[in-house]
Every structure is written in C-alpha cells, then in structure tokens.
Structure 1
Amino acid sequence: MKAIGFKESLPITEENSFIAFETEIPTPSGHDLLVKISAISVNPVDFKIRQNAAKDTVLDEPKIIGWDAVGVVEAVGEQVSRFQVGDEVYYAGDLTRSGSNAEYQLVDERIVGRKPTSLTLAEAAALPLTALTAWESLFDRIKVNPATDKGKTVLILAGAGGVGSIAIQIAKKVAGLTVIATASRPETIAWCEALGADFVVNHRNLKADLETIGHGQVDYILDFVDLEGYWDLAAELIKPQGHIVSITGSGTPLNLDVLKTKSVTFSWEFMYTRSMYSTPDMDRQHQILNEVADLLDAGTLKTTLTTVLEGFTVANLKKAHQMQESGTTIGKTVVLY
C-alpha cells in the first residue's frame, strides 16, 4: 500500500519533510478494524509531531502520522462485534499507533463511529478529533448537564479553529449554554456567528469586550489556543466554582493558587487518553462518535469543513501542514483520496 511519512523532522518546505513509500497492508486481530481510507483531515497535533518526532535523528523507517479519517471496513479482528466488512466509518485514531496518512490503517473498533450518512466523505473526515475533543471537554471534564446548566456561559478561546468550530455548535445546540467565542478578523467573526455563537468578542480586548456584553465573568472557559498566555486572565474571568478546561498545555508550571479562593476546577482534556491507556471506558469514544453522527444526520450539527485538497499526495499533505502551521485557518482542511 502507499503511505506518506517522514524520517526526519524537517521544515515543511524541505523536499523530504514528507516522503511517499510502499509498505505492507497490515492484518487486523483482536478488536482491530482494517480500514481502507477515503479521506483524512489535518490537525495541529499532526504538524507538532512531525516537527518533534525525529529531531536530530534519522529514523530507520518512515513514521506515518495522521489522526482523522473516514473509510470502509475491509477486514476485522476476531473480537470485533460493533462493525462488519463494508461499513463506512470515521475516527480520530490512536496516538501510539501508525496513523491515517496511508491507504489502509488498523484502528480499534472501540474508538470508531459510523460515518454520518448525510455527509460526504470530506465533510465527515473533518470531524472526529475535534468533535471528540469538544464533547469530552464539555460532558466528560466539566460534566455539563443540559437539564440543570442550561443558559450558563461558556467562553471558547479560538472559536474559528477546528475544535472551536464544533465546540460552539455542541455547547449551543446540545448543552444549551450561552456561547461566547473569541475571534478578531471579519471572516472569523462571521464564521463563529454562523455556527451559533451568542456573542463574539475580540481576544485582544477580551476583558473589556466581555464587560460590554454584560458577561464580565463566565461559568466555563474552554482553552483551545494558548493556556499559558491566557492563564492569569482566565483566573480573573472565571466565576466562583467555575471550570476551566484546556487542550493546549503549558511550557511552564501553572500557578494553581490563582484559582483557590474561587474554588475553581481546572481540567486537562487529551482526546488520546482513552486509547493511549486502554481505559475501561475506551468504548465511550465509539458512543460519542455515533451520537455526533446522529446529530449531524438530524441537522442539529454541521460539518466544519472549509478546504478540500483532492488527491493523496505529498504535495497536498505538505500544503495542509503549511496551512495548519500558519495559525490562520478557519474550520478544517481535508485531503480527499
């Protein structure tokens, strides 16, 4: 099968930052599905791992990355019970295994969902990683209860990004929250509003803008861009007994004392925790992806796809990474095989 990977962590403009090569089609066992991939999308995790996985070294074999895919089940392991050959599926994969930048991939059925029937291949490929991240942030970390928390405020940092774009929809349409998203360019403001944000505020003037709309403090904060840069301000903006969730990490230790007097809860969200550690509730991601598929097919949620690159080629993968590295993309970019 054809795959695209890298042996060195090089700038994306370098010729060998990605290389195409041939490798064996893997054989499924246990809970694994062998999926023939139809489309993939690119997320920040892709370029971050490409930049760091082979620093100051040359790998013996090319590393295959990629953590969003849609495709068709070609074969199944002996313990598979949720899918059968011919099923269309979508998933975000497992950080510890070979990725989706290939023609075929093995993936555990417990982190796979059925492809939404109403979406095209490209539209579906845009969603798994970001939808799982947003859903887990709201319902597994904060534990929002739509029945009792309806109308509470959530501030979404980087509303027009991949995760922010689906988080706005889930927070508004599923959780019933009052959604405040950050954006600064006319096109990103319009995007957030179209997705259902109740308010869009400028991250460069965040405190003043929140006060202007009558929400000087918020119940929840979802950080999808820069925890370290927003930490002190987030501690100021969060309500007493509020909850902050971040996916971005920090280069320095966080001062948790700033949350103490408000009894604020802070949580990390790492979508790969369940697959990386084979947690007892690993099947939760299968359930989430199926529920998201139902919501997409019902028209409650919509795809966040904005760009399609046609053809599984080194050039297209490089272009997708360059777009992600720019930090200015809106929604999601998909490579269609």
Structure 2
Amino acid sequence: MSHLRHFVCSWRLFRHIKVPRVSTAVCCHGSPNSTTKRSMTVMPAWVIDKYGSNDELRFTRNASFPVINYPNEVIVRVHSAGLNPLDVSMRGGYGAASLSIKRDPLNIKQSGSEFPLILGRDASGVIMECGLDVKHFRERDEVWAAIPPWKQGSLAEFVVLSANEVSHKPKSLSHVEAAAVPYVAATAWSALVNTGGLCKDNCANKRILILGGSGGVGTFAIQMLKAWGAHVTVTCSENAELFVRGLGADHMVDYTVGPVEEQLAALEKFDLILDNVGGDMERWALNLLKPWCGAKFVTLVTPFLQNTDRLGIADGMMQNVATVATKALKHLVKGVHYRWGFFVASGPALDEISEMVDAGQIRAVVEDTFSFSQVPQAFEKMEKGHARGKTVVQISKEGDDS
C-alpha cells in the first residue's frame, strides 16, 4: 500500500543514523587560514538551557564552535537565519524525546545533553571549512540550507551541516532574503513533490487548494505551483487577499466571512489539497477532492512527534502507523488518498529551487528583519502568528567573512 510505504520510508529517514567517523577537517582546498579557523573553540550564539518560554533564550559568546565529525560536512558562517513556527514549538519542548533519539541513537549521553540548544532552521551564509570528501563546494561559496531539527541551529555565528543539506544560494537574493526560503521550500517540496507526486511536467491545469496560504510554506507553495502551471486556490483572511494574489494565487477564500467549508464546497473539486492548518478541517476537506482520479490530501499538521514524545518511540510509532493507516483506508474507499507530509532536508531540491528563484519564478517573502541582538523580539513576533512571510535574523553583515 503506497500510503504505508511512504510513511515507513519517512520513518526510516528519521531514524537513519551514521556512526561518526573521526576525520581531520580541513578548510576547502587547503586555505591558508585553516589553522586559525580550526583553533576557534567558542562563538556567539543564542541558546536555551531548558525548555520553556521566551525567558529561556540566552545570549552567550561562549557557545561551542561546531566541529566536523564526518568527511562530508561543511562549516558555514551564518549571515542570516530564518525563524519558523517550529522554532517556537521546539523552544517549548516539542519533539524533545524523539529528537533526542536522533541526536544520541546509542543513548550514550544523559537526558538533557542537547543543552545548550541553538534554535533556527534556516541559514544563509558562506562556507568557511570543508570535510575531506566535500567535492561540490569551496571556501567562500555563498550557500543556503534548511537545518534538520535534531541539529544545532542557525542562531549562531557558525553551523555545521552535511554537504548534501547545502545548496549554492541564488545569486539574485541577499543573505537576508535567502534565509527566508530554505525550510519552507524544503517542506513544501517534500509535501508536494515527494508525497503529492507533483512536478513541473504534470501540474498544468491541475487544481490545487492550499489551506493556510499566507504563511511561510503557503507563500512558497503558491509561487512554485504557479510556476508549474497549476490553478491555485488558497484560504486566508480578507486582509491577506492582495498579498496572496500578488504571489500568483488564482482564487482566495476568506475564512473570516463565513463557514469556509461551505465556500469551498461550492467550487470545482481539487486534484490536491495541501493542509497547513490541521484541526477540524480534515473532517470535511477530503470531500473537496476529485474521487477516483488519484487526488491527494497532504497534511503537514500531524501527531507524529507528539505521539512519540508522549508514548515513547515504540508505542508512539505503533500509534502513528495505526492513525495514518486508519485514515488512509477510510478515505481510499471514497477514491481519494490521505498522506502525511514531512520536512526533508535536501540540497538537490534547493538547487532546483535556486534556479527557479534566479529565473524570477519565486521570490523571497520577508515580513520582518531583526538584528542578532533582537532574537527575543523576533520570537515574540513569531508567537503572535498570522504571519505573511518569514521572520529573519541578521547575524552578520554581508561581506564580513574574515
């Protein structure tokens, strides 16, 4: 069954762990500055020492400098970091138990070993150092990346990443603009392409509904789908109509003027629904899909991590499998497909997105920019919700890579 295969593949991706190999990290292609960079032991960063509210955010100049442990890793000097709702959730402990398994698969470290924890899932910056096996990047290459949630984040001067998580930054974007794209782009790409089966060659004239179209994932998905020729309908508030139409949305449904279910039911049925909202919408939204035409409902609002946090890995995974299988079978008999979407870090996907950005098909949507000293204010803004685009923190000035 395809829905179960997708779910199992997503879980295998989550649990796949490499055993670290000690390697001698060198600056890309033998930079004369390599000794100096390797001798650095601390860096400035915003960290949390325990899960909780915004009060737990702490600035330090003594965060541990990232170390290359695998020969395919790179160290990036962060110019700008993008924030996502996930950062607010992780600050409060979301996914803590599950992500600790990913960080420490052999359970060698004690509970709480992830602290001090650096948040931030988007990074745009410059490569400063490479592992021995890195072939496609050089020192001072401008790159962007979406950082997996089990890794230390981008609210720091430096971050270490796998080379296959990194991509060359679009030339047409500044670092501030570029930091607004990777995490939502990778999430939307995974949901629409990997899970939804869409691509530039099969999107023409397809009808797509995006539930929650004015946030980070929604604003990216609108642009990508329109570049591929789809007809895009979104739900949002009336005061966001001009905004989403400016991104290319063909039709807007205002959830503030009446039951959104009734408004959507009056429209022609859809080939795919991307759900960024969750909650009660699942109850009726699948009725909006074309039956027996391969139509899919892909939700990014899943209980995956909540279940494994609450029940433990084994019982949580059993609950996840039972939940997704029950829902998938329930709707399959109606002729539509139910799927869970997951974020997947992918440099190759960002390579394709970079080409679309430089071709003018996708633009970065930055709602607010904060300085490195204003990280708590950036989180406060994120917690208010109803974002139209991304919140970006500028870590260092562009061109300052000494």
The bucket for the TM-score relative to the shorter chain is 0.7 to 0.9
35 and 147 in structure 1: CA distance in 2 versus 1, 3 angstrom threshold: closer
Whether 2:234 is the aligned partner of 1:234: answer no
Whether 2:349 is the aligned partner of 1:296: answer no
- 8 Å CA contact 1:94, 1:107 repeated in 2: no
Shift of 1:198: 0.4
Whether 2:208 is the aligned partner of 1:154: answer yes
Whether 2:112 is the aligned partner of 1:62: answer no
- 8 Å CA contact 1:179, 1:198 repeated in 2: yes
Specify the alignment match of 2:341 in structure 1: 269
Distance across 1 between alignment mates of 2:386 and 2:280:
18
SS of the equivalent of 1:163 reads helix
Shift of 1:47: 0.7
Shift of 1:125: 0.4
Identity of aligned residues (%): 30
Shift of 1:116: 0.7
* TM-superposition CA deviations, 1:207-246 (whole Å, max 9, x none): 332244x32x2111001122x3211111221221310111
Report the residue type matching 1:137 in the other structure.
A
Q: Which runs of 5 or more structure 1 residues have no equivalent in the other structure?
A: 276-284
Distance across 1 between alignment mates of 2:113 and 2:290:
48
Report the residue type matching 1:26 in the other structure.
P
- 8 Å CA contact 1:8, 1:59 repeated in 2: no
Distance across 2 between alignment mates of 1:93 and 1:209:
38
SS of the equivalent of 1:292 reads helix
- Structure 1 stretch 259-268 or stretch 134-143: which is displaced more? 259-268
1:1-337 to 2 correspondences below 5 Å: 1-12=43-54, 14=55, 16-28=56-68, 29-52=70-93, 61-174=115-228, 176-186=229-239, 188-203=240-255, 205-212=259-266, 214-215=267-268, 217-226=269-278, 228-240=279-291, 241-250=294-303, 253=323, 256=327, 257-272=329-344, 285-309=346-370, 311-313=371-373, 316-337=374-395
Report the residue type matching 1:234 in the other structure.
A
Shift of 1:66: 1.2
- 8 Å CA contact 1:138, 1:171 repeated in 2: no
- 8 Å CA contact 1:207, 1:237 repeated in 2: no
SS of the equivalent of 1:320 reads helix
- Structure 1 stretch 323-332 or stretch 124-133: which is displaced more? 323-332
200 and 63 in structure 1: CA distance in 2 versus 1, 3 angstrom threshold: same
Report the residue type matching 1:301 in the other structure.
I
Distance across 2 between alignment mates of 1:211 and 1:50:
38
25 and 189 in structure 1: CA distance in 2 versus 1, 3 angstrom threshold: same
84 and 145 in structure 1: CA distance in 2 versus 1, 3 angstrom threshold: closer
* TM-superposition CA deviations, 1:127-152 (whole Å, max 9, x none): 00011111222211111244344111
Distance across 2 between alignment mates of 1:26 and 1:145:
36
SS of the equivalent of 2:153 reads coil
Report the residue type matching 2:353 in the other structure.
V
SS of the equivalent of 2:92 reads helix
Distance across 1 between alignment mates of 2:176 and 2:83:
12
Runs of 4+ displaced beyond 4 Å:
57-60, 251-255
* TM-superposition CA deviations, 1:17-53 (whole Å, max 9, x none): 3343412322324111110100001001101110016
SS of the equivalent of 1:73 reads strand
Report the residue type matching 2:372 in the other structure.
F
TM-score, normalization by structure 2? 0.74
244 and 112 in structure 1: CA distance in 2 versus 1, 3 angstrom threshold: same
- 8 Å CA contact 1:305, 1:332 repeated in 2: yes
Distance across 1 between alignment mates of 2:199 and 2:174:
31
Report the residue type matching 1:247 in the other structure.
L
Report the residue type matching 1:124 in the other structure.
A
Distance across 2 between alignment mates of 1:266 and 1:64:
34
- 8 Å CA contact 1:88, 1:115 repeated in 2: yes
- 8 Å CA contact 1:9, 1:51 repeated in 2: yes
- 8 Å CA contact 2:261, 2:285 repeated in 1: no
133 and 58 in structure 1: CA distance in 2 versus 1, 3 angstrom threshold: closer
Shift of 1:260: 2.8
110 and 62 in structure 1: CA distance in 2 versus 1, 3 angstrom threshold: same
- 8 Å CA contact 1:235, 1:258 repeated in 2: no
Larger Rg computed on CA atoms:
2
